[in-house]
């Protein structure tokens, strides 16, 4: 199930750099075991204290969190890292606390500094720390000159009290299980694994399990804003980061500074509506891929869009009955793994599409080894079978708390039949992706609803017309919901709009962040 997840390497230009920088990442020891009593006060540090007004009088019990200082220390090159203390449960702020990992790259020109720009790469489950380490690539120089670029791992993610669910071997099993079950035995298997996943999260992360929702993360962001010494939050959120940003704007509208929401999510959608939209989005993206493939000399598909899509569908159907050999006897490429691999490489043309052509050529000849290696790379699974981050667990744990609808196996089967009519390639597979939620042991803490965030300044919402993971209508909807929403459209393929090849889009976003002047509402970039 993809939900809102950006692939592990957030942008094609970052791929090699992000992987290399990850090796030199911040040394953080915040784990589930680091939940502590709030009786230990945050350590004093060198950053500027937040203003007294940062601690809302209605939340007096949170004053100690809002007035903490961050203890910055060098963590590789010009980067500094610190831990931010937040309450585990905002309904009990005097109880247990957790530590969030934070990283910053300071501006090179303090005389022009506007404050901090907090980045979130999406997910849920994406590491903002890792993303900010690539700040010199993912953010334009003009923006870096006026902001300290800051990344943080949201609660439950990476170095910030990471939620833990299945072990590596059982994650392999979950990834491989039939994603479009069509026999009672297959339904029973996917149901059992979905139940196992949900219960493993509760068993292995009992204290965090109920407290990793987006609303909790948004409250953490406000404490981070105060600890950074900023009166207002300047935010650049991509994909799921748009939902986190919009939620922050709803909770704290008067504290919103310059906010970019790129690859926007419509917060009024249910789990089922989100999945239906993504199924249609990925089917459209596959069509675009096949159309492009027909123009490439190395295209392994038969000529013609319909013929190319049909060839991929036949490959999916063949792998359902007979998984492709990969050279790894323990891990043949099942239909679900094959579909996941193809989905994962529809995000960022042209680099993803080139790799996908290569993988499909081998798979069509009966060899799944290349697509398996591609899937492992995207999921950051190493040759020893170890998943290098907990993004998969966090993806489910956060989404489980953010929306109230939780389809059962019988409901998922009915949805699969409906989705297949609207999205013939990926509809069935994605329809079953919400099943683990039906076994979640705690209720959601939010009901999907439009977000107006009345009281903010202009918020820039960016949508890409053929975005598969966050379909363009979602950006249109969010821009209309927000009281001060401004819609910027990139006409093109791929997930999100910034630094995806459109100089018009990049200039509009950079100008807004540097000057505060948004483009005209409805601006279209090609």
Q: Which residues does the annotation mark as catalytic?
A: 239, 467, 495
DSSP class of 324: B
CA-CA distance, 337 to 371, in Å (whole number)? 9
Q: In terms of Cα–Cα distance, which of 82, 74, 116 is closest to 99?
A: 82
Question: Which of 117, 92, 90, 95 has the alpha carbon at shortest distance from 106?
Answer: 117
Number of neighbours of residue 502 by Cβ within 10 angstroms: 19
Phi and psi angles of residue 217, each rounded to the nearest 5 degrees, phi first: -65, -35
Q: Is the dihedral of CA 301, 306, 311, 316 positive or negative?
A: positive
| CB 226, CB 53: distance < 8 Å | no
Query: Cβ distance 32 to 162 under 8 Å?
Result: yes
Dump the DSSP string for 106-136: --S-GGG--EEEEEE--TTT--HHHHHHTHH
Residues comprising the chain, all counted: 526
CA distance 237 to 223: 17
- State which H helix or E strand residue 36 sits in: strand 36-37
Rounded CA separation 212/206 (Å): 12
Taking a C-beta distance cutoff of 8 angstroms, is the pair 484, 459 a contact? yes
């Amino acid at each position: 199930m993809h939900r809102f997840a950006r692939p592990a390497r957030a942008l094609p230009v970052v791929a090699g750099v992000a992987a290399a920088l990850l090796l030199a990442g911040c040394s953080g020891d915040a784990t589930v075991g680091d939940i502590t009593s709030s009786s230990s006060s945050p350590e004093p540090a060198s950053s500027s204290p937040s203003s007294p007004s940062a601690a809302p009088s209605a939340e007096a019990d949170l004053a100690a969190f809002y007035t903490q200082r961050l203890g910055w220390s060098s963590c590789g090159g010009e980067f500094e890292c610190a831990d931010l203390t937040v309450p585990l449960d905002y309904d009990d702020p005097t109880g247990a606390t957790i530590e969030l990992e934070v990283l910053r790259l300071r501006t090179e020109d303090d005389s022009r500094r506007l404050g901090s720009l907090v980045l979130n790469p999406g997910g849920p489950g994406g590491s903002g720390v890792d993303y900010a380490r690539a700040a010199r690539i993912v953010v334009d120089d003009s923006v870096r000159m006026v902001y300290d670029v800051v990344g943080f791992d949201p609660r439950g993610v990476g170095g910030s009290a990471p939620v833990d669910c299945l072990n590596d071997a059982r994650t392999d099993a979950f990834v491989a299980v039939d994603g479009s079950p069509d026999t009672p035995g297959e339904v029973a298997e996917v149901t059992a694994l979905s139940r196992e996943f949900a219960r493993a999260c509760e068993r292995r992360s009992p204290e965090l399990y109920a407290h990793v929702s987006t609303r909790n993360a948004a409250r953490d962001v406000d404490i981070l804003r105060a600890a950074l010494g900023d009166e207002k939050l300047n935010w650049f959120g991509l994909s799921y980061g748009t939902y986190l940003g919009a939620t922050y704007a709803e909770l704290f509208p008067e504290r919103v500074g310059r906010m970019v929401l790129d690859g926007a999510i419509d917060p009024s959608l249910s789990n089922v509506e989100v999945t239906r939209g993504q199924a249609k989005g990925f089917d459209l993206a596959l069509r675009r891929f096949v159309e492009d493939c027909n123009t490439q000399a190395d295209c392994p598909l038969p000529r013609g869009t319909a013929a190319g899509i049909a060839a991929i569908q036949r490959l999916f159907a063949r792998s359902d009955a007979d998984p492709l050999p990969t050279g790894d006897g323990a891990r043949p490429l099942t239909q679900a793994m094959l579909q996941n691999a193809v989905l994962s490489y529809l995000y960022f043309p042209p680099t993803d599409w080139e790799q996908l052509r290569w993988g499909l050529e081998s798979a069509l000849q009966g060899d799944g080894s290349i697509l398996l290696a591609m899937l492992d790379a995207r999921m950051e699974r190493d040759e020893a079978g170890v998943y290098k981050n907990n993004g998969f667990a966090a993806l489910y744990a956060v989404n489980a708390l953010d929306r109230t609808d939780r389809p059962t196996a019988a409901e998922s089967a009915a949805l699969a039949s409906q989705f297949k009519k609207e999205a013939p390639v990926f509809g069935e597979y994605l329809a079953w992706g919400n099943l683990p939620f039906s076994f979640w042991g705690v209720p959601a803490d939010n009901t999907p609803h439009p977000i107006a965030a009345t009281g903010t300044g202009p918020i820039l919402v960016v949508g890409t017309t053929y975005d598969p993971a966050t379909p363009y209508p979602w950006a249109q909807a969010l821009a209309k919901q927000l009281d001060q929403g401004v819609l910027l459209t990139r006409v093109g393929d791929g997930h999100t709009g910034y630094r995806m090849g459109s100089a018009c889009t990049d200039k509009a976003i950079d100008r807004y962040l540097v000057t505060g002047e948004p483009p005209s509402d409805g601006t279209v970039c090609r």
